Each structure stands twice: as structure tokens, then as C-alpha cells.
Structure 1
Amino acid sequence: MGHSLKKSGLRQTRYGSGSFSSTYKFALLISLSRLAIEKGQDSCEGLALEYTDIAEKFIELYWKQAVPYTFNDEGQLILNQNNDKQAEIVNQIIKLRKIYSSLELLRRDSEEWLTLLKEVECTVKKMPVRYLQNINGQNFEFLYPLDQCGKQLILLPQVMYCLRQFSEIIEELCQKRWIDYIRKNSTNAPILNQLPNLEQFMFEPSRNQLNAVASVLVELQECKCFYCNKKMRKGSYAVDHFIPWSLYPSDTGHNFVLADSSCNSKKSNLLASDEFLQKWQERNEEQDLVIVDRISVLGFLTDKERSHKVAEWAYTHAKENNYQVWQG
């Protein structure tokens, strides 16, 4: 199954960008990979995914991209995600961003949030779920059976395991091809052709968001480094993704810790040792309500169980593949 996943699905991503009508297929593959980590386990069983969860992932991915990309200090452009008119999901989010300054504020308006989820669910079912496995006009059901995609999307046996094992490759390829698609899109190309890489704008948290997170963590950690426990001076610390961004490029509030510049630099994109994992889990248990209350309003998902599930996957994955671990 791993061979067929790479041969069929990722080959389509590689050669299909010219025939894709929107970026939805990239978003769907990324969403399935992340949900396999958050909801699944390392087994060869199938996995039933709720469309609500898939829709939430789509909203998280497109929320950041539904604001104008600023270039040359003057021009602005909302990236077109479709070969023709703007992708419908992006249009829906653009309207809501005028009302809600953060994704978490939108989530707190339960009526509006549920309405958006339902609308995105319908679009996901109608478009990328139906066409993701279509190659040259023919469906190859190597990820999920289309005739069973009514109320849930059912990943075929072994697919969950493969998505978890190859998640880093899937993320890297999908993001790269997504960026290429945006850059070459006929409505974006005249402006973006000569501009720097779009990766930071499209997929990474903004510096302002991380600065706001730092202000919360300074109080939470009494301005001490999470790793060495030494007092830090203002400006000498950085927000660290405890589970490195390179392993799981999606932000959750419980994943942030504050580290001094030295520890942050040395840890880099490595996992910290088991003693720090235990300390991080205990911090999240003790400070859960504070994290939910203060970091969620900054626009980050704050789901402790989801964060710990990702950590469980990351550490298991690291041990199986003999990844280097930072000892502190």
C-alpha cells in the first residue's frame, strides 16, 4: 500500500497541477494525513473520518490564506486558489474574516461556526473527495472507496498506517505543489512570478501571533526557560514548537513553550528527550484552562488531547526511525 500510495496518489500531485481546477486536492491530502495522526494509530486497519473534522482542517488551512498577501510595500493580493473564479471555501472565509479577527473567535460563535462547517463539508464531499483519486479520467480507489463516502470518509486498510508513516513526505510535497500551483495560476502569476517563496505566508504562523503567544508564556513560565529553567531577559527568548514544526506543521496552543535563545537554537527541529516530554504533558494538564482561555483567543486551536495524540505519534515515529533526540 505504501508503494501504491506514492506511485498513484503522489504522482498525480506531481504531474496533475496543470489539470487541477483548485487547490482543494492538496488540502484534502494534508487533512487526511494530519487526521490519521490525530485520530488513528499505527495499525493496518481502516479509519472512519468525520467530514466535520475534515472541514475543520480545510478551514484552518485556508484561514491564513484568505487575507491579502502584501508585496512591494504597497500592493496586495488575495491568492487565487482556482483556475477560474476564486475557490468557494476561500470566499466564505474572506467574508467571515471581516467579522471575526481570529479563527477562535469564529469558533466561539457556535451558530456561525457550525454553518461554515456544514458549507465546507458539502464542498469537500462534492469536489476533492470525489476527484482526488481520479487519474486521467479514471478513478483508482487506493485511499478510500467512493461508494462508502456518504456520512463518513472511510480510509481503506493500511492507508491510515501509510499516511502516518509518510506524513512528512506528504506535507512537504503537497505544500510545495500547492505553492507552485498558486505561483503559476494565471491570475496570480503576473504578480507572484518574481516574488520570494510563499511558504511562510501560506502555511506558517505570523510573527505577530507568536509574539502574542510569548506574552502569555512569559507569565505561565514565570519568564523561565522551559528546558534549562533559567531566568530569561526580555527579548532573549523565543516561542518553540515542542513537537517540531518540521514533523507536524500545524499549530495547537498546547504545543508552544518558551525557551531561551540558546536552548531554542540547540533544540532546533529535534524532539526533546522523554524527561521534557513528561514535563510538557504535566504543564498542559496543570495549565490547560489557562492555555485554552488565553491562547485560543489568539487564533490557535487549543485541544490538549489532540496535542498529546500528535506527541504520541511523533515520539513513536522517532524511535522507529532512530531520529536524534535533543537531551538538553
Structure 2
Amino acid sequence: MSQGWQLKEGAGQYHVVSEDQIWTAIMKVLSPQAKKTTSYKFALLRAIIENLYKSNGDLEIHFNMLAQSFAKLYWNLVVRNGYTQGPRTQIEKELLLFKEVQSIPDGVTFDSIPEEVKGVLVKAIERNIIHKDVVGALFADTDGILYGFVKKERKVKLTPSGYGFLLKYQTTVFKLVNYELAKFLQKKNSLVTHGILLEEIENITQRESLLQFQQLLVENSGSSCFYTGRSLDIGKKSIAVDHFVPWSFVHSDELWNFVLTTGALNSSKGSKLPAERYLEKIDERNRLFQQVGDVYVKQYMESYDFIHFVKLYKYAELNGFEKGWAPVS
């Protein structure tokens, strides 16, 4: 039988699988006893979590979405922060060569790279890393419990059991993956303190600026505070784009999860969940967005489904996020 990375496709376990079986499969990948010459499996688990809410109705995630997550994570680790993955690691070679060819200065973050240039890098990582071996390797190590895949179609298809498990335990799995990734990288970067590295990894893919989303929200839903209905002064820095369900749970920036508010209310809310009564209000707003003709809005709203959104909200509460925040009258 071919090794996992050599497989062209793999059928996932689409029958019901117990949570204990899934935990066993994931912990096998994360275990210190598992042989790891690269950090790819950690990065792929993390990328799947970051793209859970971008999967379609068939629970499919396309390779380019996983490659986008890979590119951002490794660019910020290797190029921005200078953490080596090992001298013979393919992704490090890809990134450093790309930086040289594109004449990108030291210290530039992934979000600062022009979109057209970024797209070239993502395609290269999809072709040379994701497609070549990573998807098949993690599939084999988890016995197809989390997903199946078809390289020709450039997508993974999450199993219902795997999808439900990651929704339910994503905060725990995300933290475990980050911890093991930090341990792996510390061995390659011995002068770096583990605690500092772990903190950086947890937040390394968070978007630096939400101005693009602020503009889309203002243009398509007006300039009032979502929570209070009061008008916002768009010219002031006090305006804020808030993740309705906190970024620290979603790990993804989605237009359907963004609302406008003031900087003060955004700080007050922090990582809390808004009161349940706001769910209907954000759904009403999102249904209006689905009718907007703007091509970017349409693209961002493709993955929106209210039942799915409520499930996201409930699972965030289950993962320990405090529910019930509302502005003080």
C-alpha cells in the first residue's frame, strides 16, 4: 500500500465515528512519539480549523483555501519573524526564493503583500506542498476519520463526525496544535523562549487591518452601531469592526460575522458573545447582504447559512465563551 503522501485520493470514514476514536487519531498526530520531519501536519490541522466555516454544504474545503492558511502562517513565521523550519524544508525554500524573486523587504507581513503577488505564492504552495504530499499524509495518519480527499478535484471533504467534532472541540484542538507547533519550532530555533513563540503562533494569522470590511459594511448596511443603532462618525478612529462571534473562536474573518460599533463598545465586548437576541438582527442584515450586487459581498456571503451560524454561536458558548453581552444603557 502507498504511503499517505503518495495517495492520489482517499475515502474518508463517512459513517458515524465516536469522539474517542477521533481524539485518539488527533493525539496520535500530535504525540511526541509520532515521527515529524516537518510541521506540515500541525499546519494542516490548523488550516482545516481556520476554514471550517468556509466549507460548502457538502463539507468540502478546496486546496487553495488550505494553501492560503499555510502561506499566511509560514510567511509570518519564516519571513517576518525569522523562525526556521529546518534547512531542507520545502516551504521555507519556496518562501525565501519567492521573497528574493519578488524583491520583498525583510519584515514584511503576509497581509502587506499585494493581492496579485500573494496569489502567485498561494498557488505555488498549493501545488508544491498541499497537493504534493501534506493532504495525503495527514489523511493516512488519522485513518480517514477527519476527511477524505481527491487531488484531481483539489479538495478535501470533511466527514460529518470529523466536522462535528472540530466544531465542538475546536478551541481545545487549536490550542493543542499551537502548543505542539511551538515545541517543534523551538527545537529548530533554540534561542527563542517557548512561551513567547506560543503566544505569537496563536495570533500570527489574525488580520492586521479590517478597513476593507469596514468599507463594505458602511457601503452596504449604513454607518450605525449594530448594537445601539446610533450613528457612527466614519471619519473618526473611534469606529470599530467587531467579530460578532469572537475571532479567538472562529479564527477566520467573515463578512457575515462582522458588525460596526464604537471602539469603546468593541473593547467592552472583548471575547464575549452578544446576547442571543442579536442573532435575528444579524441574520436579517446578512439576508440583505445576500441580495447585494457587489461581487466582493457575494463572494464573502457564499458560505453563509443562518442554521450554521447559530450552531457556531452555540459551540462558542460550549467552548467557554461567555454569552449575553449587551451595551449598558
Could you state the TM-score of these two structures normalised by the residue count of structure 1?
Answer: 0.68
Residue 254 of structure 1 deviates from its aligned partner by 5.0
C-alpha separation in 2, matches of 1:169 and 1:176: 11
C-alpha separation in 2, matches of 1:113 and 1:155: 22
Residue 201 of structure 1 deviates from its aligned partner by 5.5
1:167-206 → structure 2 map (5 Å cutoff): 167-182=170-185, 184-186=186-188, 188-192=189-193, 195=196, 197-199=199-201, 202-206=204-208
Partner of 1:263: 265
C-alpha separation in 2, matches of 1:221 and 1:154: 34
Residue 2 of structure 1 deviates from its aligned partner by 0.9
C-alpha separation in 1, matches of 2:279 and 2:216: 25
Q: In the superposition, relative to structure 1, how do residues 49 and 189 fare at CA in structure 2: closer, same or farther (>3 Å)?
A: same
In structure 2, the residue corresponding to 1:105 is in which secondary structure? helix
Asked whether the equivalents of residues 221 and 285 of structure 2 are also in contact (C-alpha less than 8 Å), the reply is: no
Moved more, 281-290 or 5-14: 281-290
**1:30 equivalent among 30, 43, 46:** 46
Asked whether the equivalents of residues 221 and 258 of structure 1 are also in contact (C-alpha less than 8 Å), the reply is: no
**1:117 equivalent among 108, 126, 133:** 126
C-alpha separation in 2, matches of 1:210 and 1:37: 19
Partner of 1:315: 313
C-alpha separation in 2, matches of 1:145 and 1:263: 40
Asked whether the equivalents of residues 271 and 325 of structure 1 are also in contact (C-alpha less than 8 Å), the reply is: yes
In structure 1, the residue corresponding to 2:261 is in which secondary structure? strand
1:180-259 → structure 2 map (5 Å cutoff): 180-182=183-185, 184-186=186-188, 188-192=189-193, 195=196, 197-199=199-201, 202-206=204-208, 209-210=209-210, 214=214, 223-232=223-232, 234-259=236-261
Partner of 1:54: 66
How many residue pairs get aligned? The number is 291
Unaligned runs of 5+ in 1: 70-77, 135-139, 294-301
Asked whether the equivalents of residues 210 and 239 of structure 1 are also in contact (C-alpha less than 8 Å), the reply is: yes
Q: In the superposition, relative to structure 1, how do residues 103 and 119 fare at CA in structure 2: closer, same or farther (>3 Å)?
A: farther
C-alpha separation in 1, matches of 2:61 and 2:222: 40
C-alpha separation in 1, matches of 2:295 and 2:156: 34
The aligned amino acid for 1:202 is: I
**1:79 equivalent among 60, 73, 83:** 83
In structure 1, the residue corresponding to 2:79 is in which secondary structure? coil
Asked whether the equivalents of residues 182 and 194 of structure 2 are also in contact (C-alpha less than 8 Å), the reply is: no
C-alpha separation in 2, matches of 1:155 and 1:212: 30
Residue 225 of structure 1 deviates from its aligned partner by 2.1
C-alpha separation in 1, matches of 2:83 and 2:49: 24
Q: In the superposition, relative to structure 1, how do residues 228 and 279 fare at CA in structure 2: closer, same or farther (>3 Å)?
A: farther
Asked whether the equivalents of residues 226 and 257 of structure 1 are also in contact (C-alpha less than 8 Å), the reply is: yes
Partner of 2:161: 158
Q: Which runs of at least 4 in structure 1 moved beyond 6 Å after TM superposition?
A: 218-221, 319-323
In structure 2, the residue corresponding to 1:177 is in which secondary structure? helix
**1:68 equivalent among 43, 60, 80:** 80
Per-residue deviation, residues 132-157 of structure 1 (Å, max 9, x unmatched): 654xxxxx6152688x7654545556
**1:303 equivalent among 290, 293, 300:** 300
Partner of 1:73: none
C-alpha separation in 2, matches of 1:50 and 1:249: 17
Partner of 2:281: 276
Residue 108 of structure 1 deviates from its aligned partner by 6.3
The aligned amino acid for 2:126 is: L
Q: In the superposition, relative to structure 1, how do residues 288 and 149 fare at CA in structure 2: closer, same or farther (>3 Å)?
A: same
Residue 28 of structure 1 deviates from its aligned partner by 1.3
The aligned amino acid for 2:94 is: Q
Q: In the superposition, relative to structure 1, how do residues 237 and 2 fare at CA in structure 2: closer, same or farther (>3 Å)?
A: same
Asked whether the equivalents of residues 38 and 89 of structure 2 are also in contact (C-alpha less than 8 Å), the reply is: yes
Moved more, 267-276 or 164-173: 267-276
Residue 167 of structure 1 deviates from its aligned partner by 1.9
Asked whether the equivalents of residues 9 and 133 of structure 1 are also in contact (C-alpha less than 8 Å), the reply is: no
In structure 2, the residue corresponding to 1:55 is in which secondary structure? helix
Residue 319 of structure 1 deviates from its aligned partner by 7.8
In structure 1, the residue corresponding to 2:227 is in which secondary structure? coil
Asked whether the equivalents of residues 54 and 303 of structure 2 are also in contact (C-alpha less than 8 Å), the reply is: yes
Unaligned runs of 5+ in 2: 1-17, 105-111
